[in-house]
Amino acid sequence: MNVRKYKKPRAAAEAGSFMLSMDFYAHRDPGGNWHVQNAVMGHLGQHHVHSPAGFEKWRKTTSKKCLHLSDKVFKCSCGLGPGDCREYDGEVWHGEEYA
């Protein structure tokens, strides 16, 4: 019987797998709030809304290369306010970390 010796798992990059990154697309509404849409490989995910101050705080925790800011101001039809978040499945919840 051939029994292989246990080997410590290699890092993902060494093992030939790949990593997915999340992109964030943000725009301002006429009231100055920021709407952020998350996406992975073109699949839309969470949509959340920040107040101007909340956005600046959140922005510091986000990779600059994954954040795409629009310089256009337009109304969003999501119906969410600062601190609200809509998940990919439609569930809406409120989180103060977004406000």
Its pTM stands at 0.78
Q: Which domain holds residue 75?
A: 21-94
Count of the separate structural domains present in the chain = 1
What's the pLDDT score for residue 18?
64
Beta partners for 25? 37, 68
Minimal CA–CA distance to 26: which of 61, 55, 63, 57? 55
5 within domain boundaries: no
Q: Which amino acid, 79? A: G
2 within domain boundaries: no
6 within domain boundaries: no
What's the rounded Cα separation, in Å, for the pair 40 and 83? 22
65 within domain boundaries: yes
Number of neighbours of residue 31 by Cβ within 10 angstroms: 11
What beta strand segments (E) does the chain contain?
Answer: 22-28, 34-40, 43-50, 67-73, 84-86, 92-94
What's the rounded Cα separation, in Å, for the pair 32 and 40? 26
68 within domain boundaries: yes
3 within domain boundaries: no
The 10s digit of each residue's pLDDT in 28-72 is: 999 999 999 999 988 899 999 999 999 999 999 888 889 999 999
Mean pLDDT of the chain: 84
53 within domain boundaries: yes
